[in-house]
Chains A and B, each alone.
Chain A
């Protein structure tokens, strides 16, 4: 796990996880009902503020945001 993935994982745990459930970088988030399309906005906004980027809506699809690994990839792609 690199630093980017760690940062995102920490945020996800803090922001969405209740009653101490354990998750890793490949745990499904949206398809498992941990994050939904409504609460996902805070994750997207966090990434945009933290990395000073803008994530277009087509890049923030439920598939791309389904686990920490692929979210990190979206950020990497935009950062170039």
Chain B
């Protein structure tokens, strides 16, 4: 059984290394989601790195596709492809695209990057599971700025209509988007009331507490008849103190000096 905290820390280090190598990409929202993704890939999901397109596998859709580094790091750590590949992120001709590409990257279940579309596709996958009487579950990670997309709510409504209790959405509630705090750019609160009003079960947890995330996911599995969302309170840039809670670190890669400082700090956490 993997130590989830350590795995999340390893994933954070991978993120920093890949972004520094690529010299572009999105650190803030990748780091905020590291614990969530670690719990999904190393505890929660039934998947097989030897057989990425296993029909009965659980699925994960990174609706906030700009956080591709966190997904790629988890997939590499899980063994879907060699870790060395991570350092070629975003390079011409390499399979690790800037945003997830299901046709190019083993283990990626849906191509995303245009915000709002992932949850809609995830709900479709869950519906397919219902139609086929399959037991697989579909997981989807949503951004808190992303919920301004109308399509998110179109998908939310339909998932409740079709009673997609095999769909679990996790909201990376880091409070920030590109142009600033969600509250200033486009206030989405009260989130819990909104999702409840759309017919969803709502759970709330600390998105950096792997135990709490695990427990919420267990609870969600036993909630029948409705889709569930976990509102996971997170810190954007989590783990790298100079990136934490800074909108400016949404889409800028660290320089190699900044990456060194960040890696030192992350390795310190692990020790």
A and B associate: no
- Listed in ascending order, the chain B residues whose CB lies under 8 Å from chain A are none
